[in-house]
Each structure stands twice: as structure tokens, then as C-alpha cells.
Amino acid sequence: MNEDIRVGVFVCDCGSNIAGFVNVPEVVEYSKGLKNVVFAYEGKWSCSVDALASMQESIKEHNLNRVVIASCTPRTHEPVFKKTVKEAGLNPYLLEFVSIREQVSWVHMKEPEAATEKAKDLVKMGVAKAILLEEGEEIRLPVGTDCMIIGGGMAGMTAALNIAEQGFKAYIVEKQPQLGGILNRVSNVSHNHINMPAAEIVKAKTDLVKANPNITVYTSTDIESVDGYIGNYKFVLNTNGETVNLDISTVIVATGMREIEPEGMFQYGNDPRVITQLQLEGLIKVWNAECGIGKSEIQNPKSKIQIQNVVIINCVGSKNEERGCCSIGCPISVKNALAIKKINEDINVHILYRDLSMVKDEQIHLQAAKAAGIKFVRFPGDRYPEVTKEDGRLSVDVYDLLLGSEYKLPSDLLVLTVGFTGDETIDAIRGHLKVSTNKEGFFQERHIKLGPLDFPSDGVALCGCAKNPKTLKETQEEGIGAAMRASIPMKNGYIEAEGIVADIDLTNCNNCGICYKRCPYGAIKVDENEEPSVIKALCKGCGLCAADCPKECITIVHYSDEQLLAQVEAALEENPEKKILGFVCHWCALGGVDMAGVSRLQYPPNARLIRVMCSARVPIKLIERAFELGAAGVLVVGCEFPTCHYITGNYACETRIKRARRKLAKKGYNTDNLWLAWCSAADGPKFANTMRDMVKQLGIG
């Protein structure tokens, strides 16, 4: 690098928050002596408007091309300072943030000298990294306005309508000959006091879809292949034997679900009187059409037997080791029982259940069912009812948990409330889009709480029963919500990634494929020669690939090996035998460190922390280097399981640390001195305790 590096160091007093415990003038003086530092300044409140203005003046006046801020915490204040240096004409990636309030003054209040020494070290580390910083920029990837919706059920149609309303193009692919999905097989839908024939709802929605000029529907169509990523998808469809090629920008997955066949259970398959809830929905449709509502006799068309006694068994094949609660069985059984009673109130209906899962408004239907004379019998989970056949008659033996007795219920129609699983195309689509599914056969969203409508890969949204079984109301909400998620990049015309991204140098690459396989975001692609490349706009900068690359071909901009190494070496230049070198992830671990600071938890000042975006960024060679330089201990802190801002970074870190221990042991280092901790952003006490324990165990107090 031929550039003349001119570093400016701005140390903040934060009133007396820092200056009260750290000798700030001494830190400033010290900074001036550091390599490449041409300017150092003590500010009372660096984040105040006037101080920011004077910082900009100093940058210009002293021609600074690197800035180190030593103040509070990057978690809250980095954006402010980035903006400030940018306005001063400096690339914001040339700023390095050093935390001397949360990590020093607030946690070493009783040891001002040690605190000052630590602050100096942290500034030195910051300067060492700053010297190596390079300009960066946000990376944009253009995104068009064509959205592919896989699945033409209620979720897919709702999503398509919302996409189309914005003037974007929506394409619906449906493998069935008609739209409507599983709702086509349902008789009535009830919510609150509303009860509507499902066919009406499907028709109304289908009409809207067909009338919309921005929506193209492909029914009886399969997806042959999908290639690409957001903004660049190439879909090949097979519609009635014809091949269609489409260029697509974003994708919404709405493939729905199917009922599980309860083959061999409760005589299902052997006796036509035993049916599932969806089959019952079909019968109710027929009965409603034939008899209308009112007192009428109904027949099972298959068995031709007059129906007098209906028994419904809930939780068939659910709530056991293999499968959980089917989510919607209880309200469906109650709804269908009420429908039967509406056709003929003299029919006896029993619902046999384990737990009645009826929430909020569904309570209304439960009360209506009880008022209509529907009988509810609770059986224990370890003692399911049994079906017997005598003289051609079916009956159900059930143990009533509440009465503590067993009795026999005659049954002309036995309805099994079974669970659901994802559509049969789920595996194919998983392969096409490189997304994941769970053991129950549904797609797995990005985050179960905060990313319910997204996949980890940008530009692919998820909605409806393809995610898990849900009501029609929830399905439509998800359809609309997924449309929003897919619309944001289409509306902007691009997606943007922060400049902290991976960069692959192919010189030493041996095409092992580890980076491609491990990237949680599908941001690394391999071409026909198996050469990897990064789609930078999709990269989130976690650094997992860089730390795992056996040939060290991958650099993470702003967190490169050289930059981190410079920090390690600066930290351990003096008295390494007294020091703990720590790597903390930006999201949770640094949050915990900050929390310890805000809570003024006092702990020993031995640690020198290096911030990385994710604990998965920490390569073994840096840990090794720290021990080589004589560090008393090394600490790596990541997010508490299962939280990880980068989905699985902490798991990757855990595996790597195990490898690091083996490697260190071989080289003769004491692996007890390598510590790994998981700390949540709320858990200041845990970080403080880890510090205390570590200092005690290493005997460096």
C-alpha cells in the first residue's frame, strides 16, 4: 500500500462517564505516539452536534484518511459516526470504533490505572486495524418486477393479487387443473359468527385472479428446473407438455399441505365407514347439496348405511414421538360435527379428544356444539379408543378420563382427525430453491419468531400451509404478508448489502466446495468448473466461509485476517502473560458486554476484546497466534443457542473450537486456557462472571 496513512484518534470523555475513571489526556498523548497517528483529540461529548462538526473539520484540516473513535459502543453509536465521517468526505469503512466506556470505564471503576492501560491497548488495537482498513461500499443487485408464486391455493392467490395490485407481474404455477388448493375439498369455513361455503370463497378469489391482467396462471403445470437467485431466477415450466421459460425476480412458496392417510388405523382402509375429516368434508358437501339444511336422513354413499351415530376421534397419528399437534384438528372436528347436527339434529355425534385446543373466538363454536348436544369425551394419550366390529356393526370403546370409566359407542360413521404434511412436491422445490424443510414435511422459515415469511435466501418468501397447518384467516394474512416481503426489493428495484462481504481469491482455491456448502444464505455459487464466486449482494458478512476455507482464499472486507491479526498482535505486545484475548460477536456477545457495562458490573481488566460480526468468523490460526504470542488465555464468545444472527454461526464456531483444541494440544498448548462462552445480549452478569472465573482459573488476578 503506497497510500500515506493518516490516522486521527478521537477519544471521548462522555462527560465524566469515561473521563471519571480513565485518564483520557494520557490516552490521547499515548495515541499521538502510535504509528501513523497524525492527530489525537479529547472530546467532552463526541456525539454532540457541535463535536461532530468539529470532528469533520479536523478530518479535513489534518487530511485524515483513517479515523478511530474511542467512546461508547458501536452497537448504538457507530451509525452516527459513520454518517459524520461520510459527510466529511471520508469513506465510512475507514472508521474504526473502540469501546472504552462499556468495556473499560463502566466496568473497572475502582481501578483507574488498569482502566487507563486497557483503554490505551484498545486504542492501539483500533489504530492497528485502522491502518489496514480499505474503502468499502454498499453493494446493489438489480431486481426486476416479476414474481413467481408456487401454488395456486388461497395463500398463493392472495399473494398474487397483492403483487399484481402494485403493477408487478405475478405468475402462479399450480400442478392441479384448477386453482383453490385444499379449500376445494372443504365444505364450509367458519370463523367467529361467520359461516360460508368454501366454494364461494374459492370462486370469489379465483375470479379476481383471472380478471387481473397482471397475473398469469399456469394450471396443470410442473416446475422442471429453477436456476439463479434473486433478480436472476430462470424457471422452466412444463405446462400440459409444453415448455415455458420465465425470467423471474422473486419467488413466493405457497405449496400448501395434504392430509396424511391413516392407513391401517382404526380399520381405515378396511371399512368404508371409517373416513378422514377431509372425506367427511366431501360428504357434508354432498349432503348439503342433496338434503339442504334441516331435518333429513343422511347416508354414507359408500356403505349405503343410514347414519345415526357419528364418532369423531381426534389426534389420530398426532401428538406422539413422530408428529406434534396437527394445529387445526380440534376446531375442524367441532365445525364438522356442528354441520352434521345442522343437517339432522337427531344424529348422535361424539367427539373423542385428548386436549381441546380451541382458542379465543373458537370458544363460540365449542359452546354452540355443546348446546347442539354434541358429546365430548376425553381420553388419555396413552389409552386411545379401540374400534371393534361385531355382526357387521362398528363400535368404539373409549375410556372417559373425566368419568374414569369405559364405554362403548356405536358408530355408523367413524371420522378420524388426522394430521397434515407438506405437499408431495416439497422435496423437489427444496432442491430447486435450496431451502430447508422440517421432519414433519413442511418448509422451514428463516426465523420462527422474527422471520416467519422469509427463507434465509433473499427474495424467496414463504406463506400458508406449506409452513404449517393454519386457518383460512391466517393463510390469507400470510399471503398478504409474503407479498410485502417479496415486493420490497421489487419496489426498490434492487437489494443492497452492507460492504462487509466475502471476497474469494481463486489463486490457491482447490475447489473443495466447503464455502459453497456452508454458506447459510446461498450467497456462494460454483460454476461448471467448480470454481466458487460470491454474489456479494446476498452475502451477510458473517465470515463463516473465510474461517473454514482450508486454503485461506476468502477475505471478509472490514474483518480480514490481516486486520484481525493486527489487533491480536497489538493487544499482546506488552505483558501478554497477564492478558486474555477475546473475540466477541457483534450481535449477542457484544450486547452482553454492553449490558455488563450499563449495569456497572465490575470485573477484572485483563481482557482485550476484538469484535467480529459472528463467532463463526474466528479462524483457528488467530487463536493459535495469540497463544504463540504468550496470551494467558483466549476467549471466544458467541450468541446463546439457538439464537444466531447468521442462523447457525454459533454451531459452526462450536465445532471449530473443538478442532482448535485438538490442534493446540498437538502443539503443546494447554487447551484449558481456551475458553468458549455463549452469552445473550441481556446477560451482563454472565459475561462478568466469565471474566472473573477465567482470571481466577488462569491465575492472573
Partner 1 sequence: MPEEILIIGGGIAGINAALNIADYGCKVYLVDDTASIGGMMARLDKTFPTNDCSICIESPLMYEVDNHPKIEILTNTEVRRVNKSNGTFTVRLLKKAKFIDEEKCTGCGACMEVCPVSVPDELDGKIGGMRKLISMPFPQAVPNVSVIDPRCRYGKMRDQGACVGGCVVDCSQCRECPIALCVKACKEEGKDAVLLWQSDKPMDIEVKSIIVATGIRSAEPDTGLYGYDIYDNVITNTQFERLMNAGGPTAGQIIRPLDKKHAEKIAWIQCAGRGLAKGLPYCSKVCCMIAAKQTIITKEHDASVDTLIFYNDLKAYGKGFWDFYQKAIENGVKYIRARPYDVFEDPETKNLTVRYENLDTGEIEEEEVEILVLSTGLIPSDRNKRLAKILKIELDNLGFFKEKDPLLTPLETNVEGIYVCGGATGPIDISESVVQASAASMKAVLRGTE
CA 11 to the chain's CA centroid = 38
Residue holding cell 479536523? 58
Those residues whose C-beta lies under 8 Å from the C-beta of residue 431, and which sit 6 or more positions away, are none
Residue 21 · residue 119 · CB < 8 Å: no
Maximum Cα–Cα distance for the chain, whole Å? 102
First to last CA, the chain: 41
Residue 447 or residue 621: which is nearer to partner 1 going by CB? 447
Q: How far is the CB of 457 from partner 1 (least distance, A)?
A: 17
What is the rounded distance in angstroms from the CA atom of residue 347 to the CA atom of residue 363?
23
Joined grid coordinates for residue 487: 415486493
| 297-to-292, 304, 309, 534, 606 alpha-carbon distances in Å | 11, 12, 12, 67, 84
Can you name the residues that pair with 422 across neighbouring β-strands? 257
In the complex, minimum distance from the CB of residue 333 to partner 1, in angstroms, rounded to a whole number:
14
Q: Does residue 684 interact with partner 1 by CB under 8 A? A: yes
**Binding letters toward partner 1, positions 367-386, x by CB under 8 A:** -------------x------
Closest of 100, 71, 20, 106 to residue 602, by C-alpha = 106
Residue 339 grid coordinates: 354441520
CB of 639 to partner 1, least distance (A): 7
SS3 387: strand
* Segment 588 to 627, residues that bind partner 1, using CB under 8 A: 588, 591, 595, 598-599
194-197/188-191 β-pairing: antiparallel
Q: From the CB of 624, what's the least distance to partner 1, in Å?
A: 30
Region near partner 1 per CB under 8 A, out of 192-200, 229-237, 420-428, 666-674: 192-200
Which 105-124 residues touch partner 1, going by CB under 8 A? none
The C-alpha cell of 100 is what?
Answer: 472504552
> Using the rule CB under 8 A, is 452 a contact of partner 1?
yes
Min dist. Cβ of residue 218 to partner 1 (A)? 24
Closer to partner 1 by Cβ: residue 1 or 194: 194
Q: Which of 532, 510, 530 is nearest to 522 (CA)?
A: 532
Please state the closest distance from residue 481 (CB atom) to partner 1, in A.
Answer: 3
Nearest to 90 by CA among 111, 65, 107: 65
Identify the residue among 127, 201, 226, 566 touching partner 1 (CB under 8 A).
Answer: 201
Which residues in the 456-475 window bind partner 1 by CB under 8 A?
467-468, 472-474
Say whether residue 253 binds partner 1 (CB under 8 A).
Answer: no
Task: Determine which residue in the list 29, 50, 165, 290 makes contact with partner 1, applying CB under 8 A.
Answer: 165
Binding mask 620-659 for partner 1 (x = CB under 8 A): -------------------xx-xx-x--------------
Instruction: Pick one of 65, 84, 116, 162: the residue that binds partner 1 (CB under 8 A).
Output: 162
Stretch that binds partner 1, among 369-377, 481-489, 512-520, 608-616 (CB under 8 A): 481-489
Helix or strand or coil: residue 139?
A: strand
**Count residues contacting partner 1 (CB under 8 A)?**
87
- Minimum Å gap between C-beta 697 and partner 1 is 22
- Give the residue among 506, 694, 684 at the shortest CA–CA distance from 596: 684
665 touching partner 1, by CB under 8 A: no
Nearest approach, Cβ of 162 to partner 1 (angstroms)? 6
Q: How far is the CB of 318 from partner 1 (least distance, A)?
A: 8
Residues from 328 through 357 that contact partner 1 (CB under 8 A):
328, 355-357
276: which 3 cell numbers? 378422514
Identify which of residues 491 and 662 has a Cβ nearer to partner 1 in the complex.
491
**Rounded Cα–Cα distance for residues 436 and 430 (Å):** 6
Nearer to partner 1, 235 or 678 (CB): 678
Binding residue for partner 1 (CB under 8 A) from 58, 166, 303, 308? 166
Residue 197 CB partners (closer than 8 Å, separation 6+): 187, 188, 189, 288
Footprint on residues 409-438 left by partner 1 (CB under 8 A): 438
In the region spanning residues 312 to 331, those forming contacts with partner 1, defined by CB under 8 A, are 319, 323-325, 327-328
What is the DSSP-derived secondary structure letter of residue 508?
G
What is the spatial distance between Cα 254 and Cα 155, in angstroms, rounded to a whole number?
A: 6
Q: Which one of 295, 491, 662, 667 is in contact with partner 1 (CB under 8 A)? A: 491
